[in-house]
């Protein structure tokens, strides 16, 4: 049931305005991977006028919860797409941030078996700076 709720929210949240904080909290609570990480490298590629494809290479510093058997010291890849600018007056869900190299974050992730990388699992609240 939790996976179905997560899937529905993940698919529908771009279609509506900002999600209430409770929804982001629930997405974080249901995230299969919760880790502290340090960003080793950031690659950003334009895919549309206001869209960027982000690829992060990160080192896992601490594991709070894992379904994919992550361990401290693992080097993993995180990939996602984010919007870097919106038109004036735009209202919508929190965009995913572009993380900074050498900084540490708490991350809420899910493993994407098809692309063999991790993706954010709590929308715009998937990364919390430490």
CATH number, domain of 94, equals 2.40.50
Between residues 9 and 100, the one the model is more confident about: 100
Buried b (16+ CB within 10 A) or exposed e, 2-37: eeeebeebbeebeeeeebeeebbebbbebbbbbbbb
Question: 10-20: per-residue pLDDT in tens?
Answer: 555 454 456 67
The total number of structural domains in the chain stands at 1
Between residues 34 and 93, the one the model is more confident about: 34
Range of the domain at 40: 2-129
Q: Is-contact 98 57, C-beta < 8 A?
A: no
Region of poorest pLDDT, from 14-18, 72-76, 105-109: 14-18
Angle between helices 2-12 and 21-29 (to 10 degrees): 130
- Look at residue 7 in the predicted model and tell me its pLDDT: 47
Distant-in-sequence, close-in-space partners of 18: CB < 8 Å, separation ≥ 6: 91, 92, 93, 94
* pLDDT band, very low/low/confident/very high, at 69 (cuts 50, 70, 90): very high
Question: 16-64: per-residue pLDDT in tens?
Answer: 456 677 888 899 999 999 999 999 999 999 987 788 999 999 999 999 9
Paired residues of 57 in beta bridges: 41, 77
């Amino acid at each position: 049931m939790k996976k179905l709720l997560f899937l529905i929210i993940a698919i529908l949240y771009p279609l509506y305005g900002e999600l209430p904080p409770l929804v982001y909290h629930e997405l974080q609570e249901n995230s299969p991977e919760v880790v502290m990480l340090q960003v080793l490298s950031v690659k950003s590629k334009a895919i549309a006028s206001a869209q960027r494809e982000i690829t992060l290479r990160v080192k896992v510093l601490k594991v709070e919860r894992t379904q994919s058997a992550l361990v401290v010291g693992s080097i993993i890849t995180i990939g996602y797409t984010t919007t870097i600018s919106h038109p004036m007056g735009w209202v919508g869900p929190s965009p995913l941030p572009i993380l900074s190299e050498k900084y540490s974050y708490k991350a809420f992730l899910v493993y994407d078996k098809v692309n063999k990388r991790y993706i954010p699992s709590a929308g715009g609240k998937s990364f919390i700076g430490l």
